[in-house]
A and B are shown apart, each in its own frame.
Chain A
Amino acid sequence: MAVLTHERFEGFAEAFGGDVSRWPADARDAAALLMAAEPGFTQGVLARAETLDAALDAWRPTPASAGVTARILSAAPRLRRGWRLWLSPAVLGAGLAAACAAGVIVGVQLQERTSEASEVAVTNTLSAVSSLDLEEGA
């Protein structure tokens, strides 16, 4: 870590102000060493810089008006069209109705298939029984 000379310390205060935490990161440790070693000199330099900092801080910006905030928000991106469409009540309602209808159709088909399967199973069983009878009779 480089040692700060008086001149360099004054240079940093002149450029970055009286708050050492706002000086360049690589100068802060060396500044702290000089402040510990020579508090009289360093405090005088920082106090002088702080008077200018305080004057600069007296000028506070006017906050943005409600009007400009509203104009900015009104120009902002909207939810992507696809999502907006899917989230609209009409599409949600139609989707729900379609899902119900699909459920009914699938249910009916399943029921029909189950009946068909049962019929096939019964027919197979009957055929087996008849062939058994025939064999026994033979």
Chain B
Amino acid sequence: MGEADPDEALLARVAEGDPAAVRAIVARKLPRLMSLAQRMLGDAAEAEDVAQEAFLRIWKQAPRWRPGQAKFDTWLHRVTLNLCYDRLRRRREILTDEPPEQIDPGPAPDRGLEARDVAVRVSRALGALPDRQREAIVLCHYQELGNIEAAAVMGVSVEALESLLGRGRRALRTALADVVER
């Protein structure tokens, strides 16, 4: 691994139970985990549950972390995505028994799109994407991972990542045509 892991020193202090390091890693990682989980699940309350579970894994992993094997942030993204997929799977199992509620298809034609409306539309459009396309867009656009790191998190080649991103963004452009073509 070429570049140093920016989280490594902090993680070692967390393993010692240093209270300042514990607070620092929560301040550094919690917003990123909330962003990742909310974009994957479309639900802030569930995202908090996922973030809490992910931190339990961090506390457990910190004393065992072996530097140089993987970047901590890459590992954390993979752990959090797995927790999100567990919830998405459970959600689908419930939905197969109960028909989904009717979702408002968008704003009424007589009023313009405001920022909040756009956010809701984006959330729904992203939620309607196939999982792997959504994951690629969340990692690259929202989490701002580079293509090599995002591909590593997803366990795919950089070419496959680019293909997932392209297909995902084309689908979003179609779903949000009235927003992006204004």
Contacts and interface: CB of A to CB of B under 8 A. Distances in A.
A55 B47 contact: no
Contact of A63 (B31, B62, B144): B31
B9 interface: no
Interface of B is mostly: helix
Contacts of A80: 16-17
Contact of B142 (A24, A56, A78): A56
A68 B52 contact: yes
Nearest to B42: A59
B18 A56 contact: no
Interface stretch (A11-19, A92-100, A107-115): A11-19
Contacts of B30: 64, 69, 72
B71 interface: no
Contacts, number: 115
Nearest to A49: B169
Given A24-B147, A77-B62, A52 B38 contact: no
Contacts of B154: none
B158 interface: yes
A17 B168 CA distance: 12
Interface in A60-92: 60-65, 68-69, 71-73, 75-80
Interface string A19-57: 000101100000000000000000000000001110110
A60 B52 contact: no
Contact of A64 (B31, B142, B172, B173): B31
B79 interface: no
B23 interface: yes
Contact of A56 (B15, B56, B141, B170): B141
A61 B55 CA distance: 18
Interface size bucket, A side? 20 to 34
Interface residues of B, number: 53
Contact of A65 (B48, B55, B62, B63): B48
B17 A60 contact: no
A58 interface: yes
A27 to B, nearest CB: 9
B84 to A, nearest CB: 13
Given A15-B166, A15-B169, A77 B144 contact: no
B49 to A, nearest CB: 8
B146 interface: yes
Contacts of A24: 146-148, 158
A75 B123 contact: no
19 contacts: A14-B170, A24-B148, A55-B118, A55-B172, A58-B122, A59-B119, A59-B122, A61-B44, A61-B47, A65-B48, A68-B51, A71-B52, A72-B30, A76-B17, A77-B14, A77-B15, A77-B59, A79-B19, A80-B17
The 9 lowest CB-CB distance pairs between A and B, nearest first, are A15-B165, A58-B118, A62-B44, A59-B122, A79-B17, A77-B17, A59-B119, A76-B22, A61-B38
